[in-house]
Amino acid sequence: MLVYFESIANMDERVLLVNVLLIITIMIFFMLTLGISIFVTMALFTSRVSAEQAGNLMVLALVPPSVLTILFLREVATKLYDRIHIRWGAGYSISK
């Protein structure tokens, strides 16, 4: 009986670890795309526009990382989540 509860606790720890790793991966992806988007916006547009328009361009620089992160979540993260859980035997799935 004790072995059964230890295996359940071990499986719960694995599921928690997978969730944390996936969240960290998504955060890194968002920050990387955000940095690239802001850098490209600054390099291309800020030298030719006024200070008022530069602020608006920085707000627009937030759109591509948000869209790409949503696509990453829908396409890549769900498949990765399902594969890791199947491999580790947790039995959970979030696919459609």
pLDDT tens digits, one per residue of 9-46:
566 677 777 778 888 988 999 999 999 998 888 888 76
The more confidently predicted of residues 85 and 69 is 69
The answer, as to whether pTM is greater than 0.75, is no
> pLDDT over 90 for what percent of the chain?
9
Q: Is the dihedral of CA 19, 21, 23, 25 positive or negative?
A: negative
CA-CA distance, 54 to 59, in Å (whole number)?
9
Q: In this model, does residue 57 exceed pLDDT 80?
A: yes
What H or E segment, with its residue span, contains residue 95?
A: none
Dihedral sign (CA 81, 86, 92, 94)? positive
CA distance 61 to 26: 18
Please report which confidence band the pLDDT of residue 1 belongs to, taking 50, 70 and 90 as the band edges: very low
Distance of alpha carbon 89 from alpha carbon 79, whole angstroms: 15
Residue range 68-91: average pLDDT? 74
Rounded to the nearest 10°, the torsion over CA 85, 23, 56, 46 is -100
